[in-house]
Amino acid sequence: MKDINVLVIDDDVDICGLLQRFLERNGMKVETTFSGNSGVKLLERKKFDVVLTDFRLPDLSGIELIKRLKATRVSSEIIVVTGYSDVRKAIESIRVGAFEYVTKPIQPDEILEIIKAAFDKSESRSSTADLPTTETKVPQVKPKKSSKTYLTPNSAYAKDLDTNISMVAPTDFSVIILGETGTGKEVAAKSIHERSKRSNKPFVAVDCGALPKELSGSELFGHIKGAFTGAISDKTGSFEAANGGTLFLDEIGNLSYDNQIKLLRVLQERKIRKIGGTKEIEVDVRVIAATNEDLEECIHKEDGFREDLYFRLNEFKIKLLPLRNRKSDIHSFANFFLEEANETLGKEIKGFSDKVEEKFEKYYWYGNLRELRNVVRRSALLTTGEFIELDALPQEIVHPSQLGYFEDVAEVSDEITDLKSITEDAERKAIESVLVKTNYNKTRTAEILKIDRKTLYNKMASYGIDV
């Protein structure tokens, strides 16, 4: 393996020094800088395989830094370092393009493992890209792994989900997958692809939320040399790269209105035209779209989601429940992730203590399966015995908020008869309770509930909470 070039961004000089010495002792080339803006400038001049950045910088947040780097087409993989109080924001950073996040205190084995995984991804992309590193990269075909990458627990919901995937997979139906961040939308899409007649063809995943708006058309449909400033050679777009296989469009709601029109035309005519080009190229691609938004609601907003595109994509719909609504599946997923961690870390941990399993069932799981996987992996790293105990868990799980998001169902109104109503009733009660405790300070309420003010206002309006 060649040297891994790492850029560390942290305003704490001591942390930068410690990380630089540790990573250099492990054969890496490391440079450090102390602000987000200086990091952006350095990355514009020099190529790094991996960027390791603190989430809280004096001039930019982790989210802002990632968006800046994506907008300037930096090809480095980004790892965000965060405290447990910022886990939800760290999960958001993955949504906008980060490779992974790690929590403080940093564990040596964990950070080495993640940096090497990020480097492998960066190398894979660079070796197959058809443009210089200053260009937006062609979405990479993700090879099908020989080992099973998904799990079907024994709950009725999980079995129904697996049945739906099995039914739609052999068809050419377009599919919309709905679910919160971290619920496994891409895993479900891969499962559909792997059970389809296209399984030996490419699976190309594109995160529409991480695409710079001005380059999303080029990313999807490609461009020819000279089509715009910076187009120094022809580019193969996602549709052409996925020809014969499956194109997974994550966070489809982030596509601009113009690109929605182009996407609809491609779905109807099965032809693409590169930006700046005149030749039409026939493509045979199955599209699976995913979103954490309510697209039907977005249809009615100005410059929202096109209704005709929604119905064209919505030939089959799959809804993934958040992990907090799948309590009976948590144990199965935790054991699956533990097997994965044992293999990666070379350990033989047998399972979880009863107290740990109890904490897992009570926790809210803001980041869903992705958060559970990260917690299990980190806990396995810290465990020296046969079972994972409470002292290996993050404090936010051992001592969760006392808000009681999901109270005992017996306390919920008798008029409620379905899971959605139970969830909404519990959420409404939590918001009202915190508003009272904060003397109706909406900023403080949003902080305690770990949502932004806009989301709080929307939920208050939805539930008819009038302050």
Q: State the average pLDDT over residues 360-376.
A: 90
In order of 362, 375, 395, the CA distances from 400 in angstroms are 9, 14, 8
Instruction: Determine if residue 98 is left, alpha or beta; phi over 0 gives left, psi from -120 to 50 gives alpha, anything else beta.
Output: beta
Rounded-to-integer distance, Cα 7 and Cα 17, Å:
12
Domains and CATH numbers, the chain: 5-128 (3.40.50.2300), 156-319 (3.40.50.300), 323-398 (1.10.8.60), 409-462 (1.10.10)
Per-residue burial over 422-455, b = 16 or more CB atoms within 10 Å of its CB, e = otherwise = bbebbbbbbbeebbeeeeeeeeebbebbbbeeee
What are the distances in angstroms from CA 257 to CA 176, 222, 247, 407? 18, 18, 19, 41
Residue-level pLDDT at 139: 36
**Average pLDDT of every residue of the chain:** 82
DSSP labels for 429-441? HHHHHHHHHTTT-
- Check if the beta carbon of residue 78 is closer than 8 Å to that of residue 102: no
At 125 the pLDDT is 57
**Alpha-carbon span 245 to 18, nearest angstrom:** 46
pLDDT at residue 88, as a whole number: 67
Q: In sequence order, what are the residues at sequence separation of 6 or more whose Cβ sits closer than 8 angstroms to the Cβ of residue 161?
A: 152, 188, 318, 320
Instruction: Tell me what pLDDT residue 97 has.
Output: 82
pLDDT per residue over 31-61, tens digit each? 999 898 899 889 888 889 999 998 888 888 8
Alpha-carbon radius of gyration of the chain: 23
Lowest mean pLDDT among 128-132, 189-193, 456-460: 128-132
Question: pLDDT band at residue 124, thresholds of 50, 70 and 90?
Answer: low
Mean pLDDT, range 127-152, rounded to an integer: 43
Average pLDDT value for residue range 308-331:
93
pLDDT at 401 > cutoff 60: no
Structure tokens at 37: 């803006």
Q: Of 93-107, 299-313, 317-331, give the range with the top mean pLDDT.
A: 317-331
Q: What is the mean pLDDT of residues 147-168?
A: 82
User: Average of pLDDT values for 259-265?
Assistant: 90
pLDDT digits (tens, 9 = 90+) for 273-311: 998 988 999 999 999 999 988 888 788 777 778 999 999
Helices (H), 200-256: 216-221, 238-241
Minimum mean pLDDT range among 117-131, 237-251, 257-271:
117-131
SS (H, E, C) 256-293: CHHHHHHHHHHHHHCEEECECCCCEEECCCEEEEEECC
The CA distance from 121 to 127, in Å, is 10
The pLDDT assigned to 145 comes to 38
| Tokens, residue 203 | 């699976």
Among candidate residues 254, 231, 305, 296, the one with its CA nearest the CA of residue 97:
254
For residues 348 and 227, the model is more confident at: 348
pLDDT over 80 at 438, yes or no: no
pLDDT bucket at 17, cuts 50 / 70 / 90: confident
pLDDT at position 431, please?
A: 87
Q: Has residue 405 got a pLDDT over 50? A: no
For 251, the token pair is: 């966070």
Q: What pLDDT shows up at residue 421?
A: 57
- Residue 129 identity: A
Q: 177-199 burial by CB neighbour count: b if 16+ within 10 A, else e?
A: bbbbbbbbbbebbbbbbbbbebe
Rounded CA gap, 384 and 459, in Å? Answer: 44
User: 1 pLDDT exceeds 60?
Assistant: no
The alpha carbon torsion through 15, 119, 255, 299 (nearest 10 deg) reads -70
CB of 227 closer than 8 Å to CB of 274: yes
CA distance 125 to 401: 41
The residue with greater pLDDT, 452 or 189, is 189
pLDDT band at 87 (very low <50, low <70, confident <90, very high): low
In the DSSP assignment, the letter for residue 445 is H
